[in-house]
Amino acid sequence: MNSELLKNKIVHINEILENRLPLGDEFGRICEAMRYSVLNGGKRLRAIMLLESFRIYSDDKALEKKIVEPFVTAIECIHGYSLVHDDLPAMDNDVLRRGKPTTHVAFGHAMGVLAGDALLNYAFETVSEIAEDAEKADADLALKVLKAFRVLAVKPGYSGMIGGQVLDTTVKYEPGVVISGYDELNAYGRRIEDPAKLKFVLRVYELKTSRLFETALMCGAILGGAGKEDTALLEEAGRALGLAFQIEDDILDLTSDAATLGKSVNIDEKNDKDTVARILGIDTATELVKMYTEKAVDSLKKLNRNTEFLQDLFESLVFRKL
């Protein structure tokens, strides 16, 4: 991965967010908390994926500015709100995020809840502002915005990202539960006493992490004019990448330190939470990271488009340090 190129893309995303996140006098405190939550560092992976998936299909800079940038803002708001709520005492009860105090620590518990709420609402406020303009421009553009809007609403919702968080926080795997799919895990399942537990954990990851990667890749492609087949391939890429990313996160939780990660470590062990790394061990978990990353890159290659940057980005996430 060209680190300078990636750095420039992160700077560009941060400029978009700086300009589009709200400021206010009467509501200055909540705006401050929202901006703190989103602008407090971050790799901007989802925003970059959304923008780059659009660029695979379109080089229309005016459309990118007017239509795509609001979606870039929206997905970072949704990701930001999910992190703010994840860190709350009722969830992971974490005090460190991106090397700084978490939002509820910096602003108080109530403001942490409200900042997350506000970011979620602002995501759709931002995107809804462009819907009327798109309709006036032409029906085809309006349909693209509507399709992308639906992906943005559904995949992070109760049956997607939030559903994954529900399983992660309130539902414990019970022996004998049947989880369908994940046939690629059969060889690994033979190494452990209860293979279904591994599938259950992967199901949590697919929902809470993959769904937002899928959202980013699909929204950008839809806005750029991708067809159903290509959009489905990007959805597959997002699913596989999310699984690889979250398993690597498990490994880092066991092997890294708070100074490097910018967040607390050994949280899963302290909470006695099942993870792929704890179930299979670090070496085998590393094998799965490679396997799912390869699946994600293979899906990109099937597009027959210039996806070199996204391929490099996906591969750079393997064995990342933070």
Span 113-140, average pLDDT:
89
* Phi, psi dihedrals of residue 186, rounded to the nearest 5°: -55, -45
- pLDDT over 80 at 194, yes or no: yes
Higher pLDDT among residues 320 and 67, named by residue: 67
pLDDT of residue 318: 81
Fold of 3-316: Farnesyl Diphosphate Synthase (1.10.600)
Given a cut of 90, whether residue 177 has pLDDT beyond it is no
Q: What is the pTM of this model?
A: 0.94
Q: What is the mean pLDDT of residues 302-308?
A: 96
- State the Cα–Cα distance between residues 123 and 70, nearest whole angstrom: 8
Residue 190 has pLDDT above 80, yes or no: no
Instruction: State mean pLDDT over 68-82.
Output: 98
Average pLDDT estimate for 227-256:
95
Q: Among 28-32, 147-151, 179-183, whose mean pLDDT is lowest?
A: 179-183
Average pLDDT over residues 244-259: 87
Which tens digit of pLDDT belongs to each residue from 197-232? 999 999 999 999 999 999 999 999 999 999 999 999
Dist. CA 149–CA 126, nearest whole Å: 11
Residues 1-16: what's their mean pLDDT? 94
Rounded to whole angstroms, the Cα distance separating 165 from 189 reads: 24
What is the predicted pLDDT for the residue at 271?
A: 65
* Residues 206 and 242 sit within 8 Å (Cβ to Cβ): yes
Of the CA atoms within 13 Å of residue 230, those in its CB half-sphere come to 20
Q: Which of 29-38, 150-159, 256-265 has the lowest mean pLDDT?
A: 256-265
Q: How far apart are CA 302 and CA 304, in angstroms?
A: 6
For residue 1 the two structure tokens come to 């991965």
Q: Dihedral, CA atoms, 107, 113, 119, 124, nearest 10 degrees?
A: -160
> pLDDT per residue over 255-279, tens digit each?
877 666 666 667 666 667 899 999 9
- C-alpha pair distances (Å), 175 with each of 179, 283, 285: 11, 25, 21
Beta bridge partners of 100: 97
Strands 96-97 and 100-101: antiparallel
What is the average pLDDT value for the chain, to the nearest integer? 92
